[in-house]
Chain A
Amino acid sequence: MTLLNRLEPVLALALAAIWISPLIFAFWAAFHASTDAVNFNLGAAWTLDNFRTAWEGAPWLRYFLNSFLLVTIVLIGQFLLCTLAGFAFAQIDFRGKDVLFVLVLLQLFILPEVLIVENYKVATQLGLLDTILGIGAPYMASAFGIFLMRQAFKSVPKELDEAARVEGCSLLGVLWRVYVPAARPTYLAYALVSISTHWNNFLWPLVVTNNESSRPLTVGLSIFGAPENGVDISVISAATVMVIAPLLVLFLVFQRQFVQAFLRAGIK
C-alpha cells in the first residue's frame, strides 16, 4: 500500500506528461525547420518561417472571423431559445408540458451530426448553405441548454419571483430582472461549453460550407492539411498551433473559472 501511495504521484505526473506531450511536440515543431523537428535536433535554431508559410497558405483571417461569428451567433441563439424554453419548463404549469419535455430531451440523442444527410437538404431548401447561420442553426435549440436553464431557474427562490410580480413586472420582465441574473453562473458555464464545442466542431461545417466565405477554422485547417502532394510537419504544426491558440489561451487564462463554472453549474 505504501509503495502504491508513493508511486501514485509519479503515475499522475507521468500521465500528465503523456497527455500534454502531443501539444508540446507540435509547439516545438512549429518553431523549427521540419528537418530539425523530425530529427529532434534539440539545439536547432528557432524560426518563424513555418508560421509565415502557413499564414500565406490560406485565408486564415477569414477563417478566424468565420469561427468567431459562428460561436457568437450560436451562443446568442442558444441563450435566447434556451432561456425562454427553460423558463417555460421550470416555472409555468400547463398541459402537455411533460410530453414536450421528453420530446426535447430526445434531441440529446438525435445528434445533429447523425442527421447530416437530411439536415443538408433542409439547409439547402432554406438557403442556408454556405452561411454561418446555416452552420449554427441546427445547434441553437439545444436540449442540453434547455435542460440546464430549467435546472437553474428551478432553484431561484419563489419569493424573488413573487416580489417582482407584486411590483408589477410582466412575465418577461420577471424573467429578465429576476431569473436571468440569478442564473448567471449557469450562463457562464454554458457559454464556455458552447464556445469550445462550436469552435471545434467539424463534420457539419464541412458538409454545409463550400467556400471560404463561411468556412470555419476547423474545416480550413483540414483542407490546408489535405495531403495531396505531401505534408510538411512543421508547417502543419504551425497552422495547428495557430488554430488552437485562441481557445487554449482563453482556457489557460480562465482555467479556474472554466472548471469552477462546471462545478457550480451542477452538471453531474
Chain B
Amino acid sequence: MPDLAALRRRRHAIHGWLLLTPALVMLTTFAFYPTVATLWTSLFSRGTRRRPTEFVGLENYQRLFDDPTFWLVAKNNLLYAGVTIPISIALALAMALWANSKIPARSFVRTAYFTPTVLPMIAAGNLWLFFYTPGFGVLDQIGALFGAPSVNWLGQPETALWAVCAVTIWKEAGFFMIFYLAALQTIPPDLKEAAQIEGASRWAYTRRIVLPLLMPTTLFILVNAMINSVKLIDHLFILTKGGPSDASKLILYYIWENAFAFFDAPAAAAMTVLVLAVLGALAAFQFFVIDRRTHYR
C-alpha cells in the first residue's frame, strides 16, 4: 500500500501545477518566449527584397555600438534616470510628510499631488505641450510678466530633455507619495509622543526616527522608479518625438522607432537584449540585496 503522505504530496503537486498552468502559459507566451526570441532575432540581418535574411552573429550589436545615436540615446536615458529618480522620490517624501501632517486644506493638497497619477501620459503630454510652447505657452507668458525672454523649451537640445523629465516627475511623485503615506501610517504614534517628551524637535524626529523607518519603502520605490525610467516614454510621442536632433530621445522610444518606423527589427532586438540585461541586473539587485534586508514577504 503506497505511503499516504506521498500520495498527498503528489495530489498537492498536481493541484499546484494545475492552478499555475493558465498563468504559466500566458507568461511563457508573452514574457519568456519573446525574451528568447528577441535574442534569436538579434543575430540575424534584416531581410529586404534584394537581400534575404541571414545569420550575422553579433553584427547587429557591432552596428549598434558604432551608431553614435545609440550612445546619445543611452546617455540621455541615464540622465533621465539620474534626474527623475532622486527628484521624484524626494518630492514624494515631502508630499507624504505634508499630506500626513496638520496643514490647512490637507485633503485638497493630497488630491492635487495624486491627480497626475490617474492621467494617461499622452494626456499629460498634451497638457504640458501648451506650457512649453514658445511665444504663447503658459511658461513663456508667466516669464514675460517678469520680463524673461521667450524660451523654446522643447526646441533646444539644452532644455528638451529637462522639459521631458519635468513631466515624468510631475506624473510620478504623487504615485510614490502613496507608498510613503502607507508606510507613515504604520509608524506607531507613541514614537512621536516619546520624542516630544524627550524634547526632540519635529525635524529631528523626522530625520532620526521617520526616515530610517521609511528605508524599506524607499528601496521599493527606488526599484519602481528605475523600471519607470525605462518604461515611461509615452509623452515623447507628443512633446518632442525625441528631438531636436535626438537630444531627448530615450532608449525605448528608439527601440520603437527602429522596429516600427525604420522596420529594422534586428537592430531593435539587439537593443532590447541590452535593456533586458540591465533590467536583469536590477532584478538581481532587488532579490539579493534588498530582499535580504527587508522582510516584507
Contacts and interface: CB of A to CB of B under 8 A. Distances in A.
Interface of A: 1, 4-5, 8-9, 11-13, 15-17, 19-23, 25-26, 29, 38-40, 80-82, 84-85, 87-89, 92-95, 97, 100, 102-122, 126, 137-138, 140-141, 143, 146, 151, 171, 196, 199-203, 206-207, 217-218, 221-222, 225, 231, 233, 236-237, 239-240, 243-244, 247-248, 250-252, 255, 259, 262-263, 266-268
A51 to B, nearest CB: 15
A117 B115 contact: no
Contacts of A15: 91, 94-95, 98, 109, 113
Given A203-B233, A237-B130, A268-B182, A12 B27 contact: no
Given A113-B252, A268-B217, A240 B35 contact: no
Contacts of B238: 222, 225
Interface stretch (B47-55, B65-73, B118-126): B118-126
B255 A116 contact: yes
Interface stretch (B56-64, B76-84, B173-181): B173-181
Interface in B265-288: 265, 268-269, 272, 275-276, 279-280, 282-283, 286-287
Contacts of B99: 12
Given A121-B37, A262-B178, A12 B127 contact: no
Contact of A137 (B30, B94, B105, B181): B30
Contact of B20 (A85, A203, A268): A85
27 contacts: A9-B103, A17-B112, A22-B127, A39-B136, A81-B22, A81-B23, A92-B12, A92-B19, A93-B9, A103-B27, A104-B23, A104-B27, A106-B283, A107-B27, A108-B283, A109-B286, A111-B230, A114-B230, A114-B275, A114-B276, A140-B26, A141-B26, A244-B118, A248-B115, A263-B182, A268-B182, A268-B183
Contacts of A244: 118-120, 123
A25 B138 contact: yes
Given A104-B27, A117-B269, A252 B16 contact: no
A78 to B, nearest CB: 10
B39 to A, nearest CB: 9
Contacts of B183: 268
Given A25-B138, A202-B120, A255-B111, A115 B272 contact: yes
| Majority DSSP secondary structure for residues of B touching A | helix
Contacts of A84: 19-20, 22-23
Contacts of B260: 207
A68 B297 CA distance: 34
Nearest to A255: B111
A92 B227 CA distance: 31
